[in-house]
Amino acid sequence: MENNIDNPNQNIASNIPNYICLSEFRKPLFIKIINSLGLTNGSKGLDAGCGIGFYTTFLAELIGEEGIVIGVDLSEDFISYANKNKRPRVQFEIGNINSLGYEDNFFDWIWSADTVWPGPKDLGCPNEDPIPIIKDFYRILKPGGKLFLLFWSSQKFLPGYPLLEARLNTTSSAIAPFVNGMNPKYHILNAKYWLEKSGFKDVTAKTFLEDINMPLDENTRKSLNIFFQMLWNQSKNELLENEWKEFKRLCNPNSNEHIFNNQHYYGFYSYTLFQGIK
């Protein structure tokens, strides 16, 4: 992702240790999704918004010794970290997805996870209108090339508290970067429209789900607590006082009544993959 993860207005996730933690947390689901792509041996791909390059390596492993993956991200810190941990068949470059300088018909495929989030630039988004970005992806793909767009699309993290979680999920930080007044067609779940509008054919969408079961390892606990902060910690002014107190009681890591004290804790989250062919 260019700048931030999942909710681009939350700087908490742009911290590299947190980014590593969240990447490890989502690794099982991402590997499942990446393995479903059907990437061709010897192909040339782009990871647009590669972050620290955590998943770029897994993409490269699927295309054989003759293939190559280029990871691009706006963050100099992320690219510096990625280059220090670079693997064979991978290269990293600083770049902006609004103005990729690659020549026409250059890539066999493009993967972009949690990056093309339409929204205001002051929330860390690349553009409020995703169509110009998708059209440029189309330009740099070879005929027959594939575009893969992946977005976090849902979560259930507070079992037993559906009313509280529903209220939290209507707050500004939870629905960011989508804001009041934005074109509904620019919401991520309308990405099929973006691809078809940009010329892609055979456009499909598929949602992948990952379960979260007890016992939780340390990294999962930390990741979920980061997500609690990213999604909901800015919501105080949009909740009733009792709702805010209940959120802090259940989701503050220092609370004796933290939700993870439930030995039967279960949650899940999902990612939706959109793809099309040039």
Positive or negative: CA dihedral 259, 262, 263, 268: negative
Within 10 angstroms of residue 157's Cβ, the number of other Cβ atoms is 21
- Distance in angstroms (rounded) separating the CA atoms of residues 154 and 72: 26
Strand duo 107-113 + 90-94: pairing: unpaired
The pLDDT score that the predictor gives to residue 21 is 95
Per-residue confidence in pLDDT tens, the chain, 278 aa: 333 334 433 454 568 999 999 999 999 999 999 999 999 999 999 999 999 999 999 999 999 989 999 999 999 999 999 999 888 889 999 999 999 999 999 999 999 999 999 999 888 899 999 999 999 999 999 999 999 999 999 999 999 999 999 999 999 999 999 988 999 999 999 999 999 999 999 999 999 999 999 999 999 999 999 999 999 999 999 999 999 999 999 999 999 999 999 999 999 999 999 999 99
Question: What is the phi-psi region of residue 38: left when phi exceeds 0, alpha when psi lies from -120 to 50, beta otherwise?
Answer: left
The pLDDT score that the predictor gives to residue 11 is 52
Between CA 113 and CA 120, with CA 118 as vertex, the angle to 5 degrees is: 130
The pLDDT score that the predictor gives to residue 142 is 98
Tell me the sheet residues that pair with 277. 146, 201
The pLDDT score that the predictor gives to residue 6 is 41
Domains in the chain and their CATH numbers? 11-155+184-213+268-277 (3.40.50.150)
The token duo for 259 is: 């939700």
Within 10 angstroms of residue 173's Cβ, the number of other Cβ atoms is 18
272 touches 189 (CB < 8 A): yes
Q: At 120, which amino acid appears?
A: P
